[in-house]
Amino acid sequence: MTYPSQHTTTLDERDGTQVGIVAPAHRLSAGLRLGQVRLQVADLGRSLDYYQNVLGFRVVSRTPTSASLAALGDDTPVIQLEERRGAAPVPHQGRLGLYHFAILVPDRGSLGRFIGHLMEIGARAGASDHLVSEALYLRDPDGLGIEVYADRPRSSWRTANRQIRMDTTPLDLNSLVEAGGEAPWLGMPFGTAVGHVHLHVGDLDQASDFYHTGLGLDKIVWSYPGALFLSSGGYHHHLGVNTWAGAGAPRAGDDDARLLDWRIELPHVDDVNATIASLQAAGYPAVATQDGWRVTDPWGTSLVLATRRS
């Protein structure tokens, strides 16, 4: 897939290098941040055991069928679990919708202590070095994909052909454990947040129409096989989309364990209104909710747009 050279680009503030392909009309604010992800699970008690004891989150509110989870020292929810008793687990080959949601920890030492914790409890995880970040990959009891990662400093990120260089190479686990020092793992540290969301989609061009042209995310990496990475403010990605589930992959249904929605929070109400207008102009209707606007992509994945709370 190629893009014409006349596309506007954004400047890398470090050295003036042109990076990415700017959204063609409306462009999301560089001040955006991602809010909580809301997940549908089959057994709330089983999921809470995993998200607390393996991932290290704590419960900040709970009902008989739902729970909100946050990091240490911060009551801002990062994950909301909603029980649908008996929901079908994610099949091995995946389905359209969530590929993984990614938990960003504040620093490399935090990731190292998390690795030590996983080793201590005997939990298995995949591991990759993406050049811009170092990451672990896990699956919850319903098969929902989770990444836990730490960013490398932006000053170390490199570019090639207007794209931030990303790759998938072996992770130096020993170096990370050393970075964790002697401090014990106490749980997900203060400052932990959702860093990005990665989705299975049916078509990259259609995904670009929704997330780039309509929503207003810049394209950052477009040469990765079968995938497209988008962001605001020059980040390596707030969103990844891919076609790796294969042709004919089913959508997540109402009775499946799945991502119910993810959340983008913008600095001002004018930012939200402009984004909604852009989506509607691109043919994607949005519905007002109690705490923002809900819009659904072509494969049934819902996104909530709201004004930042603080």
Predicted confidence pLDDT, tens digits, the chain (310 residues): 222 233 344 544 445 567 899 999 999 999 999 999 999 999 999 999 999 999 999 999 999 999 999 999 999 999 999 999 999 999 988 999 999 999 999 999 999 999 999 999 999 999 999 999 999 999 999 999 999 999 999 999 999 999 999 999 999 999 999 999 999 999 999 999 999 999 999 999 999 999 999 999 999 999 999 999 999 999 999 999 999 999 889 999 999 999 999 999 999 999 999 999 999 999 999 999 998 999 999 999 999 999 987 6
* pLDDT, position 8: 43
* pLDDT, position 310: 65
* pLDDT, position 115: 98
* pLDDT, position 92: 87
Q: How far apart are CA 305 and CA 266, in angstroms?
A: 8
Q: How far apart are CA 205 and CA 214, in angstroms?
A: 12
User: How many alpha carbons fall within 13 Å on the CB side of residue 157?
Assistant: 26
* pLDDT, position 137: 98
* pLDDT, position 32: 96
* pLDDT, position 10: 55
Q: How far apart are CA 293 and CA 115, in angstroms?
A: 37
Calculate the CA 246 to chain-centre distance. Answer: 21
Closest to 130 in 3D by CA, of 181, 81, 172: 172
Q: How far apart are CA 159 and CA 58, in angstroms?
A: 38
Q: How far apart are CA 29 and CA 49, in angstroms?
A: 37
Residue showing tokens 């462009």: 27
Q: How far apart are CA 187 and CA 230, in angstroms?
A: 30
